[in-house]
Amino acid sequence: MERKRIVVKIGSSSLTNAKGEIDKVRLMDHVQAIAELKKQGHEVLLVSSGAVAAGFKLLGYPARPVTVKGKQAAAAVGQSLLIQTYSALFSIYDIIPAQILLTRTDFSKKECYKNAYATFEELLERSMLPIINENDTVSISELTFGDNDMLSALVSGLVHADQLIILTDINGFYNANPTKNPQAERIDRLTAITDDMLSFADGTGSKVGTGGMASKLLASRTALLAGVKVFIGTGNGAHKLVEIIAGHGDGTYVEHEELAVLTNHKQWIALAEISGKIFIDSGAEQALMNNGKSLLPAGIYRIEGEFDSGDVLEVYSENGLLGRGEVLYSSQELAVAMGKRTDTSSKYPIEVIHRDKWLKIQTN
């Protein structure tokens, strides 16, 4: 089997019991499956939920806390418990975990992004198992990524993974909520994630988790943009992950044949937070989308948001979202320059977004 780089995301509902405690039997099942992947020569990264779910009972909460301070306190207690448990179980297979706690800044700031990438590469080169979670205890907003589904998508893009496996308690995506509609049918393969699909995916499905099927589809959309195939589903036993990457998993595969192969810089553009929007005319759209040209001020008729040079913006035309790119103007500078012919004597760059810093988004 070809050596692959695999990101495995395990949600709280797959790690804990109904009381919010870590279920060592279920956890051991995941550990055995990851050990089998590594035994076959694959590189594995684990994005693990469970810190808040594991910690809230020890703090005296009867259920998962809903306040920011409650979540952060539970994460502070639960994260150490979670990583200790992982370390003990993986030691059976001579696997050394490496804990990495990330925030949204690690993806939005270029230097942080580069440093995170270098750290992951060093760990994987030395056969470590990175175990990743959000740094919940210092997040300035309520769980910055929204949930670990999006975190896993961002990590998979960052490390140029071949496959993202999102393990959950539902075996894939259905055309309606299967817990409410017995006629719902599972979709085994998707080539894109549309807004209509998101409307089908309602409900979280778990009292201890934060991410429902909608969040998994949004994460899959992000991973596809970064060039990563996704599996959403369930499984049991030591060989479940091997079966999934072989195409025999119990769930939904999200993939298409022409996934982009992106440089590290374009990976960052794909994954960075959006700081604003640019709206362009049909001539600029043609140049940008079909002629391989850069975006110039003359083709821009509207901007939204406040941004600085070096931020990532989305670009729209009357046909909708076209893509995203790193802007070379601030919002104040672009407000003056937009709609005008490029002045080569100006102190500003000729291009608003250079073609090397542009990422086209495929829409279906």
Query: What pLDDT does residue 264 have?
Result: 80
Tokens of 287: 């140049």
Query: What pLDDT does residue 343 have?
Result: 63
In this structure, CATH architecture of domain 273-360: Roll (2.30)
Our CA angle for 325, 330, 333, nearest 5°, is 125
Query: What pLDDT does residue 272 have?
Result: 82
Query: What pLDDT does residue 322 have?
Result: 93
Chosen CATH of 5-263 out of 3.40.50.150, 3.40.1160.10, 1.20.1050.10, 3.30.2320.30: 3.40.1160.10
Query: What pLDDT does residue 142 have?
Result: 39
Q: Which residue has the tokens 């050990």?
A: 35
pLDDT tens-place string over residues 288-300: 998 889 999 999 9
Mean pLDDT of the chain: 86
Query: What pLDDT does residue 268 have?
Result: 85
209: pLDDT strictly greater than 80? no
Query: What pLDDT does residue 195 have?
Result: 73
- Strand duo 129-134 + 97-102: pairing: parallel
100: pLDDT strictly greater than 90? yes
Distance of alpha carbon 95 from alpha carbon 32, whole angstroms: 11
194 versus 254: the higher-pLDDT residue is 254
Q: Compute CA distances 194 → 36, 199, 322, 338, whole Å.
A: 34, 9, 15, 32
Q: Compute CA distances 92 → 97, 143, 183, 258, whole Å.
A: 12, 33, 44, 40
Ranked by mean pLDDT, the top range of 136-145, 176-185, 213-222 is: 213-222
- What residues does 45 pair with on adjacent strands? 7
Positive or negative: CA dihedral 124, 130, 135, 137: negative
Query: What pLDDT does residue 358 have?
Result: 93
pLDDT tens-place string over residues 23-48: 889 999 999 999 999 999 999 999 99
Distance of alpha carbon 317 from alpha carbon 281, whole angstroms: 6
Query: What pLDDT does residue 234 have?
Result: 93
When pLDDT is cut at 50, 70 and 90, the band that residue 204 belongs to is very low
Q: What is the CA radius of gyration of the chain?
A: 22
Contact 98/17 with Cβ under 8 angstroms? no
Task: Please state which of the ranges 249-263, 269-283, 343-357 shows the lowest mean pLDDT.
Answer: 343-357
When pLDDT is cut at 50, 70 and 90, the band that residue 66 belongs to is confident
330: pLDDT strictly greater than 80? yes
Of the chain, the percentage scoring pLDDT greater than 70 comes to: 88
329: pLDDT strictly greater than 50? yes
Query: What pLDDT does residue 220 have?
Result: 92
- Residue 300 phi/psi, 5-degree rounding, is -100, 130
Domains 5-263 and 273-360 belong to one CATH topology = no
Contact 301/339 with Cβ under 8 angstroms? yes
Task: Please state which of the ranges 153-167, 200-214, 269-283 shows the lowest mean pLDDT.
Answer: 200-214
Enumerate the domain spans of the chain. Answer: 5-263, 273-360
Distance of alpha carbon 246 from alpha carbon 232, whole angstroms: 14
User: What pTM was estimated for this model as a whole?
Assistant: 0.82
282: pLDDT strictly greater than 60? yes
- What residues does 359 pair with on adjacent strands? 324
pLDDT tens-place string over residues 344-364: 556 667 899 999 999 888 544
Positive or negative: CA dihedral 316, 321, 327, 332: positive
256 versus 312: the higher-pLDDT residue is 312
Query: What pLDDT does residue 201 have?
Result: 63
pLDDT tens-place string over residues 160-189: 999 999 998 889 988 877 777 888 889 999
Contact 45/129 with Cβ under 8 angstroms? yes
Query: What pLDDT does residue 207 have?
Result: 42
Query: What pLDDT does residue 145 have?
Result: 56
Q: How far is CA 114 from the centre of its chain?
A: 17
Q: Compute CA distances 182 → 174, 176, 186, 197, 213, whole Å.
A: 11, 9, 11, 18, 17
